[in-house]
Amino acid sequence: MKEKELRRSLAVLPIGTVMKLTSLSARQIRYYEEQGLVIPERNEGNRRMYSLNDIDTLLEIKDYLTEGINMAGIKHIYEEKAKEEAEKKARMEQPLTDADVRRILRDEFLSVGGLKKEDQFTFRNRTL
């Protein structure tokens, strides 16, 4: 399930193809790029090269526009989506804090000992 994502992210389509696939004008496609909604790569000749993922987001943008959402609204949608993914990544890369480890170990002990969470388990006068 990772191979597919890599291929979908490969920028291989020139703007002309994207125009046909999305029925958007080159002007619009470039404008959406200015707004940070799509970030095509550039080839040797400074030509924009789009990936299948770019096509998808451009089609999404078209839908939002049809639904009456303006550019500002669309930008908000993608900004929040990016923010959520950033937080998710941060959580994945975030090592367990001491507090997390202690909580996990405590639950383990309570489970193995057949004790209930409601029972207090103390060690050296500290709740574990």
Partner DNA sequence: TTTCTCACA
Partner DNA sequence: TGTGAGAA
**Binding footprint of DNA on the chain (CB under 7 A):** 14-17, 19, 25-28, 30-31, 45-48, 65, 71
The C-alpha torsion from 33 through 4 and 65 to 71, rounded to 10°, is -30
Query: How far apart are alpha carbons 25 and 56 in whole angstroms?
Result: 16
* CB contact at 8 A, 15 and 50: yes
Q: How far is the CB of 76 from DNA (least distance, A)?
A: 16
Q: How far is the CB of 20 from DNA (least distance, A)?
A: 9
Q: How far is the CB of 16 from DNA (least distance, A)?
A: 2
Q: Which is nearer to DNA, 42 or 88 (CB)?
A: 42
Q: Which is nearer to DNA, 35 or 111 (CB)?
A: 35
